[in-house]
Amino acid sequence: MSNSNIRVRFAPSPTGPLHIGGVRTALYNYLFARKNGGKFILRIEDTDQTRLVSGAEKYIIDSFKWCGIEFDEGVASGGDYGPYRQSDRKHIYPAYAEELVKSGHAYYAFDTPDELNKIRTDYELQKLTFVYNAVARKKLRNSLTLTEEETNKLLESGEPYVIRFCMPENKIVVMNDMIRGKVEVNTSALDDKVLFKSDGMPTYHLANIVDDHLMEISHVIRGEEWLPSLPLHVLLYEAFNWEKPEFAHLPLLLKPDGNGKLSKRDGDRLGFPVFPLEWKDPKTGNISTGFREEGYFADAFINLLAMLGWNPGDERELFSMEELTEAFSIERVGKSGAKFDPVKAAWFNHQYLIRVDNETLAGLLMPIAIKNGVLVEKEQLSIAVGMVKERVNFVSELWDHLDFFFKQPENYDHKSVKKCWKEGSYNQMAELKDVLLEVDDFTAENTEKAVKKWIENNEYKTGAVMNAFRLLLVGELKGPHLFDIVALIGQEASVERIEQGLHEIGRIEN
RNA sequence: GGUCCGUUCGGCUAGCCAGGUCAGGCCCCCAGGUUUUCAUCCUGGUAACACGGGUUCGAAUCCCGUACGGACUACCA
């Protein structure tokens, strides 16, 4: 299944942080390349000078590094097909644009943006839509309506111009998409897209085709939002007389509620991250949280993203990157958009968290313990983590489930006191203190045996005693097996907590 | 408005290409069970083929239409 001719790329525009839809697109490209023994390339499409955001390119690279998505070639990795940043390739595009003019597939247009905007507004006033197409181009200032002499004069005088694709009239373009199959469109519905801008840079459409060709890209796997541009791209390959790559347009990632493309706004509104890493907007200073900062494990993040739009065809849901690579195929990518579900996302993280060993989790939890002003032995913390990790989705939630191991209750939950602190509780707990003091080897088993024997001898109610005991140790009615708690906090501390509790809660007079 | 894409439980989806299953799984939710607490865990449950035609002995599956949703429609990518 190995094919060294397979080359795919992820080609983001560094206009801001990468959102999870982009990460998923990159992931599918990566998996496709790995699965088929091909190469995966990172190309930066920064042809729009006005929309560059500083730090965005670094953010993109850092994000993939965190996720474990690796590039064989690209801006950070090098390679034989560079440079991999389109602004660094600026010099190569004009010749290609001019080649199309010479072959009659494109033309110079001298309309200014202002002129075109005015025409568009006028059309709108008449409830019409202006389309720069075969009809319109005949009435505008371009190398098709001007004489060759006039055109050359304008070009030489430094008049700003763009190069537009000369869209054929009434021709059916037949395309194939690996996910959607055959797609046909009539060129009459298409317009004369700008290929080369007046600022000397190519547009996306030109740069994309030229670079994919020069970089020998075999499969273009990108978001569905590009499907409407596919006819233009196909026509460009044909105009250049180049071999076309295969195309696959991935379904969109949708917002959790309602319909529509997932956006940064949805994350802010519904309180979940839409970016892999935290992003600070350099202009506004606004901070958007990332999956990493929210406590997602990188492999859980990859796993949940992979399952949004793809499935293995059987009932497995948990996949390592290696397993994904093995199982992935474009054929099993769905056609329809997938809503991002933050609840299931958290479930994925839970699945990973419970599989992480206790020592590692304790290491991650340590800073939180310190922040809470509690000095903890890592070994103790590991044991406590092992007892409660099933209960949480994120490391950050762990502390609330085990802080009582490491500090005495500061207060006693009212409801719990009301529920389980009865008339006899004070005396029972006072007795229990002495029972604990007499246990030699203070293990969970020994303590449990001693306490149960004492309960039996006195004919106390197990539930009542245990709940009162739990209340004094934990401060409320929660937590793991009581004798595991006792064993971990130790004989001395257990007795101390009973004493403190007796003092704080006192006798109940009924 | 135009072009293109899409449509199975509340969500992610299997099944569709090669018509015949009580339409399956996971998340959520609900109910029981286990448990000295809380949780975990176990068992069970609610719940879907957008609609209308056609083809066929038989349609979620093939065809046509309708509705709805989405993407695109910049000298942005």
Own/partner pairs, A169-174, CB within 8 angstroms, 24+ separation: A169/A134, A173/A231, A173/A234, A173/A235
Continuous H helices in A112-202: 113-125, 148-156
Phi (first) and psi of residue A451, to 5 degrees? -65, -45
| Whether residue A182 lies in the annotated active site | no
CA closest to C1' of B10 belongs to: A257
The dihedral built from the CA positions of residue A387, A392, A394 and A397, taken in this order, carries a sign that is negative
Of all nucleotides, the one whose C1′ comes closest to residue A109's CA is B75
Q: What is the DSSP string of A420-445?
A: H--TTHHHHHHHHHHHHHT-SS--HH
Question: Which residue type occupies A218?
Answer: S
Nearest to A371 by CA among A396, A335, A347: A396
Q: Which residue is nearest to nucleotide B75 (CA to C1')?
A: A197
R_g of chain A computed on alpha carbons = 33
Please give the pLDDT value at position A301: 97
With CA of A311 and C1' of each nucleotide, the nearest comes out as B13
- Å between A314 CA and B22 C1'? 21
**pLDDT on residue A509:** 52
All structural domains of chain A, each given as residue ranges with its CATH number in brackets, are: 89-250 (3.90.800.10), 356-403 (1.10.8), 408-510 (1.10.10.350)
CA of A312 vs C1' of B60, distance in Å? 20
Peptide bond into A83 cis (omega under 30): yes
State phi, psi for A400 to the nearest 5 degrees.
Answer: -65, -20
- Strand B: which nucleotides have any atom within 7 A of a protein Cβ? 1-8, 10-15, 24-28, 36-41, 69-77
Q: What is the pLDDT of residue A253?
A: 94
E strands along A260-328, which residues?
A: 279-280, 287-288
Residue A434 makes CB contacts below 8 A (sequence gap 6+) with none
Interatomic separation, CA of residue A161 and C1' of nucleotide B5, rounded (Å)? 34
Q: Read off the tokens for A321.
A: 């990157």
3-state secondary structure of A268: helix
Report how far residue A492's alpha carbon sits from residue A170's, in angstroms, rounded to the nearest whole number: 89
Residue A1: the pLDDT is 43
Q: Which pLDDT score, from 0 to 100, does residue A2 have?
A: 46
Q: Say if residues A407 and A399 touch (Cβ distance below 8 Å).
A: no
CA proximity to A436, closest of A490, A507, A380, A500: A490
pLDDT in tens, chain A (510 residues): 445 699 999 999 999 999 999 999 999 999 999 999 999 999 999 999 999 999 999 999 999 999 999 999 999 888 899 899 999 999 999 999 999 999 999 999 999 999 999 999 888 888 888 999 999 999 999 999 999 999 999 999 999 999 999 999 999 999 999 999 999 999 999 999 999 999 999 999 999 999 999 999 999 999 999 999 999 999 999 999 999 999 999 999 999 987 888 988 888 888 899 999 999 999 999 999 999 999 999 999 999 999 999 999 999 999 999 999 999 999 999 999 999 999 999 999 999 999 999 999 999 999 999 999 888 889 999 999 999 999 999 999 999 999 999 988 888 888 888 888 888 888 889 899 999 888 888 888 889 989 999 988 988 888 888 999 999 999 988 899 999 999 999 989 999 999 998 888 777 654
Please state, in angstroms and rounded to a whole number, the distance separating the CA atoms of residues A407 and A68: 38
Question: CA(A1)–C1'(B2) in Å?
Answer: 43
| Spacing of A391 CA from B40 C1' in Å | 7
ipTM of the complex: 0.95
The confidence score (pLDDT) of residue A132 equals 94
DSSP type of residue A172 = E
- Cβ neighbors of A22 (< 8 A, separation 6 or more) are A10, A12, A223
The pLDDT score that the predictor gives to residue A508 is: 65
Question: In this structure, what DSSP letter does residue A245 have?
Answer: P
Please name the nucleotide lying closest to A416, CA to C1': B37
In angstroms, what CA-CA distances link A498 with A161, A472, A479, A505?
85, 6, 17, 10
C-alpha of A452 from chain center: 51
Q: Distance from residue A178 (CA) to nucleotide B20 (C1'), in Å?
A: 30
Q: Which entry of A244, A261, A264, A378 is annotated as an active-site residue? A: A264
Are residues A477 and A466 in contact, defined by beta-carbon separation less than 8 angstroms?
no
